[in-house]
Amino acid sequence: MAANGTGGNGDMVAFPQEDGDHTEPERLDSLKTFGEVVRAFRKRAGLTQESLAPKVRYSPETVASIEQGRRFPPRDFVESAEEVLDAFGTIKSAARHLTRRPGLANWFHQWAQLEMEAINLYTYECRLIPGLLQTEAYARAVFTNRLPLLSEDQIEAQWAARAERQRLLHEHPNTTFGFILEEHLFLRQTGGQEVMRELIDHVLEVSELRNVEIQVVPLAQENYAGVDGPMQLLETPDNRWFGYCEGQESGLFVSNPKTVSTLQMRYARMRSQALTPEDSVSLLRRMRGAA
């Protein structure tokens, strides 16, 4: 689907991607420069990161990440910081020159920003545990097994970016996160039994968050709507929906309402076919005991 979905009306845009769902941004000069600009105007205004945070409607941790060049600033952060810090247009100007890792597919610039602003974010995965739910040990096992092989520095950079992105779950308590996961992902023993046992514990812990819902699709499922592969869906604050699907070497950003509606229909059917959140937790606990 990802490789062939190049709609002529611009509703589906397929791009080559560098590393599947692992394409989080690394620190680049433009991000660090932007962060320094924000820091300079914050100090000029006599504000700390803690006092600026509520004024721009983000957490102090997010402000710190942006100032350190570790996070791509959302559009509303740029606008709020410009206004609150009375920056003479400098912050907006600096934002126009932001870039991410060289060669990173253009779709991810847009998806990453939408993800930061989403009020609903849904993920169906049948290949590996989604990045937002991974433990460090599981993520490193995935990175280590990737081909072509990654260097140690690349693995460290990948994990640092993954850990940073996982903060979404805690820094966005008003965002609803939904995950539909295949049971076989927990049976594969990626990284070994101890890694999988720790992963299940972590997923169970995350499932206790009020804004997170996790459902597991059992191995035996006679009727199933997930045969077209993994997908992600999100809703923006102005109630627009977007989707993303990916293959081995390509990613598909979906904006056409009709196509997004099809993805929503499939996701809704999968939710009804998967175990309930409560039954999913029970299954994971049983698997945890058997691991």
Structure tokens at 35: 């962060």
pLDDT-wise least confident of 8-17, 86-95, 268-277: 8-17
pLDDT of residue 40: 96
Domain boundary pick from 40, 69, 95 = 95
- Going by pLDDT thresholds of 50, 70 and 90, the confidence category of residue 63 is very high
Domain boundary pick from 95, 115, 132 = 95
- Going by pLDDT thresholds of 50, 70 and 90, the confidence category of residue 99 is low
Tens digits of per-residue pLDDT, 30-56?
788 999 999 999 999 999 999 999 999
pLDDT of residue 12: 58
Domain boundary pick from 37, 72, 95 = 95
Task: Give burial (CB, 10 Å; 0-12/13-18/19+) of 82.
Answer: buried
CATH at 202: 3.30.870
DSSP code of residue 276: P
Report how far apart the first and last C-alpha atoms of the chain are (Å, whole number). 35
Same domain, 40 and 151: no
Same domain, 217 and 116: yes
Same domain, 168 and 276: yes
Same domain, 91 and 122: no
Same domain, 140 and 83: no
Going by C-beta distance under 8 Å and a sequence separation of 6 or more, which residues neighbour residue 66? Answer: 34, 35, 38, 73, 77
Domain membership of residue 236 (yes or no) is yes
Domain membership of residue 1 (yes or no) is no
Give the C-alpha separation, 121 to 116, whole Å. Answer: 10
Domain membership of residue 6 (yes or no) is no
List strand residue ranges (DSSP E) for 6-151, in order.
Answer: 12-16, 120-125
Range of the domain at 176: 12-24+105-290
- Going by pLDDT thresholds of 50, 70 and 90, the confidence category of residue 1 is very low
Task: Give burial (CB, 10 Å; 0-12/13-18/19+) of 45.
Answer: middle
Total count of domains within the chain:
2
Same domain, 144 and 181: yes
Instruction: Dihedral sign for Cα 108, 112, 113, 117, please.
Output: positive
Domain membership of residue 247 (yes or no) is yes
pTM: 0.70
Domain membership of residue 16 (yes or no) is yes
pLDDT of residue 87: 95
SS3 251: strand
Domain membership of residue 4 (yes or no) is no
Give the C-alpha separation, 56 to 243, whole Å. Answer: 28
Of 136, 12, 115, which is closest to residue 71 (Cα–Cα)?
Answer: 115
SS3 114: helix
Domain membership of residue 284 (yes or no) is yes
Same domain, 109 and 238: yes
Give the C-alpha separation, 214 to 119, whole Å. Answer: 17
Tens digits of per-residue pLDDT, 175-191?
999 999 999 999 999 99
Same domain, 20 and 149: yes
- Going by pLDDT thresholds of 50, 70 and 90, the confidence category of residue 234 is very high
Same domain, 81 and 143: no
Q: Does the structure show a pLDDT above 70 at 162?
A: yes
Structure tokens at 54: 């509520």
Longest pairwise C-alpha distance within the chain: 63
274 vs 221: which has the higher pLDDT: 274
Same domain, 70 and 119: no
pLDDT of residue 109: 59
Average pLDDT, the chain: 85
pLDDT of residue 157: 79
Domain membership of residue 276 (yes or no) is yes
* Arithmetic mean of pLDDT, 257-275: 97
Same domain, 20 and 72: no
CATH at 77: 1.10.260.40
Going by C-beta distance under 8 Å and a sequence separation of 6 or more, which residues neighbour residue 245? Answer: 1, 2, 5, 228, 229, 230, 231, 232, 251, 252, 254, 263
Same domain, 116 and 245: yes
